[in-house]
Amino acid sequence: MSLQILVAGAGIGGLAAALALARKGHRVEVLEQAAAFGEVGAGIQLGPNVTRRLHALGLAPGLASIAARPAMLCVRGAHDGRELARLPFGEAGERRYGAPYLCVHRADLHGLLLDTLRHADGPASAVTLNTNARVRLVSLRGGEAVGVESADARAWEGDALVGADGLWSRVRAEVVEDDPPPRSTGHTAWRALVPQRDLPGRLRSDRVDVWLGARLHAVAYPVRGGDWLNVVVLAEAPPPPGDARDWDQAASLASLQQATGRVGAGLQALLEAVPGWRAWRLHDRDPLAGPQAMARERIALLGDAAHPMLPYLAQGAGMAIEDAAALAEVLADADGEAVPAALARYAQARWERNAQVQARARRNGRIFHATGALRLGRDMALRVGGARVLDVPWLYAG
């Protein structure tokens, strides 16, 4: 049966949900608060658990055209540059997990999803995209439908509402009562994108490089078919001034170096070669405590609206895409009356995995930024365990 489903938020998670739901035969109204569809540019790592689901949505050819396929993950010390461990990707990893490990520019993945929804004939043509649609009011109408009114007084009604409206979600308040605001972590992230042709040969890369330091770590990996390099530095440092919700603030190398201090020569050379930096403050919420935090009656939450992820496991977009696939699956054959039960099954199926990833990302942050004895133990474990320590089969095979 075809349902009418409202999706609040047109980020990667919201568009993935719209596409997955349309592929199951449902009609979807996407409500985006911004005046235009788009994503702020930054890199995303897509593990096999994510690319497998994107391929299932028919996006394999488009994904191959925008992604870089890193050869390996290589972990080094931030202050001495010594290699600690490496994990090969490539064909062996793809055979093991049934899908590749890819790196993409966030805006490119968002654009691929958007173009698929705008130009597809068939199921995806059942998706309507609305801009300037900031959710102001949500109402459950006798348990038989859900209504949404936007700030400019437009109104929609559907069989279900999906809150994919991010960390500062408006829809979340309809599911989680007495919910405190997102918590500032005290960590700040600096990010940059630079064409590889503009870098000296020794700084160009076809792999995911990670440098671990005291109260900081850095990551660099190729995107856009390998033509660009995405660089991110995360440090336990005071946030830049400005709106806590702005994750695209102007920043400088000086502010970055004030937070990190002097790092090893190789990493320092890369940081100095980057022409410009952006910054944002990291916020999160406690890991999910149960399914009640992901769905209520005809309303479900997806991605950061339900379970914001710190970037220390590279799974923020990944868990949103997993959510989208799971949501479409439970609603595949549901009629209007069965929607609340289907959304309850979705929440039950997803909350524990999302909570596990949230907790592991927090744990990784402590390990990546370790000092003293914990740092020494971490480095020893990486040197001895190598790829076995870096691999996460419980995540990639899921």
Provide the annotated active-site residues.
Answer: 221
Helices 90-97 and 48-56 cross at an angle (nearest 10°) of 70
* Sign of the dihedral defined by the CA atoms of residues 190, 244, 7, 325, in that order: positive
Name residues whose C-beta falls within 8 Å of residue 82's C-beta, 6 or more positions apart in sequence.
Answer: 76
For 27, counting Cβ atoms within 10 Å of its Cβ (0-12 exposed, 13-18 middle, 19+ buried), the class is middle
Structure tokens at 83: 């290699």
CB atoms within 10 A of CB 82: 10
Cα–Cα distance measured from residue 357 to residue 363, given in angstroms and rounded to the nearest whole number:
10
Backbone angles phi, psi at 264, to 5 degrees: -60, 160
Partners of 183 in the beta sheet?
284
Residue matched to tokens 């290699």:
83
Q: Residue 398 and residue 395: Cα distance in Å, rounded?
A: 5
- Contact of 323 with 13, CB cutoff 8 Å: yes
d(CA 108, CA 293): 31
Closest CA to 250 of 241, 238, 258: 241
User: Residue 191 burial (CB < 10 Å; 0-12/13-18/19+)?
Assistant: buried
* Contact between residue 106 and residue 44 where contact means Cβ atoms under 8 Å apart: yes
What CA–CA distance (Å, rounded) separates 300 from 161? 6
Q: Is 175 left (phi over 0), alpha (psi -120 to 50) or beta?
A: alpha
Q: Pairing between strand 299-301 and 160-163?
A: parallel
- In DSSP notation, 129-195 reads EESS--EEEEEE-TTS-EEEEETTS-EEEESEEEE---TT-SGGGGTSTTPPPPEEEEEEEEEEEEE
What number of residues does the chain have?
398
Reduced to 3 states, what is the DSSP secondary structure of residue 213? strand
Three-state secondary-structure class, residue 115:
helix
